[in-house]
Chain A
Amino acid sequence: MPWYRQVYDWLEHRLQLEGPVMEAMVHPVPRKTASWWYVFGSASFVLLILQVVTGILLALVYAPSAAHAWDSLEVLNHQLPLGWFLRAMHGWGSNFMVAVVLIHMCQVFLFGGHKYPREFTWVLGVCMLLMTLGMAFTGQVLRFDQDAYWGLGIGASIAGRVPFVGGQLVHLMLGGPMINGATLTRFFALHVFVIPGALLAFTGLHLWMVVKLGINEWPMPGRIVRRETYMKEYHDLTHTDGLAFVPLAVWKDLFFSAAILLAVAACAAYFGPFGPKGAPDPTIINTVPKPDFFFLWLYTVLSYLPPNLETPFLLIVPPIAIAFLIAIPFVAGIGEKSWWRRPVAVFAVFFIAVCWGAFTQLGTYTPWSPQMHAWSGAPVPEKLLVNRTPLERQGAVVLQQKQCRNCHELGGMGGQRGPALDDVAGHMTEDQLYRQVLQGGGNMPAYGAALSPAETTALVKFLTTLKVNYAPAASDASRQVADADTGTAATGAR
């Protein structure tokens, strides 16, 4: 007997693992379940392992202290060979993992996989989704750059809105009243010990139940789940029309997981690591912090909500959403599994997916933040300055100097907080422009106190030239009547 065989036997004699493992491997699965639709769960698991491995390697270099975190990422990016690639793999792995977990969840839901007897598998799955998102958030914090800094600030202000205990919550989260060194060590502990530990334990349980209860069969319209008969029906199905999991079903999982890993590597190689963006220095205010991809939708929703609804939204909607997800298998634990017979479920999934996609897409534009550098960095389009009088030209300077461009576009450049001004004179008269500039309104500040009369005049003179040349300027009939009464020619300012 060769030596490795002896070692194996010696171990097996004591561990006794061969039996259960073999049983789990060759357990029969329904033939139609060996489908490409069933590969997302295993892919999530493989991605989790990838994250653990790359995470451990990163932790060898990363310094979880406020003073050194950012620098240690710079070291990884620039000084260690392939350190950047490691960071990129971990970052892209995280993105892929969130995406694949979400797809897995939709697939399970649409295929009725959460129904009897797999309710608890689903509940664990919901917890694992939350932990995955928690990993994504805490991971973003560990990057400790400007985005992380402001992201944390936003997270803390959300926590601070909880009634009664808000203050203490913030203290707990940040390790003090503000973001400091203790904040980072806290998030490091969460990201490296607490959440991954729990996530791995939950994953183990989740898998155990998958093996014990069997993989969900392909749903057939009309095949109803009943608590009394389901177990027997499933058993019969797998034994009359089943396949051994290994090797007849597993190869698709392996193939897909390999493809996902390659995709992660390709993204990492091509797009590189995320950040770190600028150093986390609160004195640098000219930044447009943005949350990572999965939280962009939240950013959009919050910017659309009227301010007085933000707090209720933040504090009420997430708990309701989570409770709702957990309640699904208990409310709809039996009955039809097929999507052909579950229109509400299908509609809900698509509705949520479309909303999420639209909000995320909107979030990538940031039309809600002013562009802090537009006033000095966005040139006034040359064609708006052709044949202008010196006064109108100075008006354009006022527009820049008073930072109107930070909120208003000209020629497609500038902020989008307010409407573009390219043809504002087509629908606003000179009087209305004076009023708008001096009194503001909507989300626009009033400039009455910040502009001298001469500056105001110059500015409005310039604004009145902003229209497409074939269109007439906006006019105000009452002004002509008033002028006729008093005998003044409507010459405007002097």
Chain B
Amino acid sequence: MQSEVSSRAKNVTRYGCLLLAVSFLAGCKLPGKPKDGPEVPRPEQVLSFDELYAANCSGCHGAHGEKGPAMNLANPEYQALVDDASLRDIIVNGEKGTLMPAFGEKQGGELTDAQVNVLVKGLRAKWGKGDVLSGLNAPTWKATHAGDPAAGKLVYEAACARCHSASGSQPSKGGSILDGSFLAVVNEQMIRTTVIAGRPDLGMPDWRSLKQSGPLTDNEVTDVTAWLMSQKPALPGQPYGSAAPAQPAAAPANKISGKD
């Protein structure tokens, strides 16, 4: 009897010790235990594409690379169109003539070369689908020569006007791209990229189906871009429309009457 009790007591102590040891080991996996690496890494140590994209690009290019205010990067055709070096150059130096900022450290941005590389690789991996343009005879990303605006006007009428209207003041399905302020904040490359790769997220087709009679040629794309750029007014963004130069005093008077 006595010995039974004491052996049970021994058992209890044995299990108790086991339990203690297990809970101690489990202690090393407690939820409060800090994860590997510093809690807040230095900004230049962030090397994950998703984090970098979310913090630096999603504001303008959309959380998922589309439907943002600026170009959609999640377009496989665009990813096939542009080469790594150009992509890197745009991220580091920004794009002159547009609102795309420079992200390179030397240009006053915050991204190191390593981080830019991660972005370039990640854009390909996430949104590229390989060489989807091969054999389609697509125009090149960069224009090879200067365009002819006069010829471009005809291309515009044939390929763009049905969606973007013939004149800037006429509202249309795609909205005017002849607006002086719009043309002043974009550049040739932006239009070229949009025409070739399209904006599938917004319902603008790529270069193959803009013109009813067939794909646009490289020359046509170059020309229409040149014509659009030539439509940029000398003093873009004057308030109160075309009437502004004629009677400058009337409107600005109540412009001052702000809310406070």
Contacts and interface: CB of A to CB of B under 8 A. Distances in A.
Interface in B187-245: 233, 235-244
A389 B56 contact: no
A218 interface: no
Contact of A270 (B31, B179, B260): B31
Interface string A395-431: 1111011000100000000000000000000001001
Contacts of B174: 390
Given A377-B54, A379-B63, A428 B30 contact: no
B237 A453 contact: yes
Contacts of B60: 376, 380, 397, 400-401
A391 B181 contact: yes
A284 B69 contact: no
B176 interface: yes
Contacts of A374: 59
Contact of A269 (B32, B36, B38, B244): B32
Interface string A469-492: 000000010110010011011011
B238 A494 contact: yes
Contact of B255 (A275, A431, A442, A491): A431
Contacts, number: 218
B168 interface: yes
Nearest to B247: A486
Contacts of A488: 240-241, 243, 247, 250-251
Contacts of A281: 42
A74 B258 contact: no
Contacts of B59: 374-380, 400, 405
A134 B182 CA distance: 58
B180 A393 contact: no
Contacts of A84: 32-34
Nearest to A286: B43
A428 B259 contact: yes
A101 interface: no
Nearest to B60: A400
B28 interface: yes
Contacts of A397: 60, 69-70, 99, 185
A494 B259 contact: no
Given A272-B33, A379-B62, A397-B60, A284 B43 contact: yes
Interface residues of A, number: 78
Nearest to B173: A387
A393 B69 contact: yes
Contact of B181 (A382, A428, A431, A458): A458
Given A81-B28, A494-B241, A479 B182 contact: no
Nearest to B232: A454
B2 interface: no
A389 B171 CA distance: 9
Given A278-B41, A454-B185, A494 B58 contact: no
A205 B94 CA distance: 68
A482 B237 contact: no
B239 A492 contact: yes
B134 to A, nearest CB: 30
B130 interface: no
A82 interface: yes
Contacts of B242: 494
Nearest to B254: A478
Residue in B43, B69, B177, B239 whose Cβ sees the most chain A Cβ within 10 Å: B69
B27 A377 contact: no
Given A391-B175, A394-B99, A485-B250, A269 B237 contact: no
Given A84-B32, A385-B67, A454-B184, A482 B253 contact: yes
Interface in B8-40: 27-28, 30-34, 36, 38-40
Given A271-B32, A395-B69, A492-B240, 4 more contacts: A277-B40, A374-B59, A461-B181, A488-B240
6 contacts: A82-B27, A275-B39, A379-B68, A391-B175, A397-B99, A454-B182
Interface of A: 74, 77-78, 81-82, 84-85, 88, 145-146, 267-273, 275-279, 281, 284, 286, 373-380, 382, 385, 388-398, 400-401, 405, 428, 431-432, 434-436, 439, 441-442, 452-458, 461, 476, 478-479, 482, 485-486, 488-489, 491-494
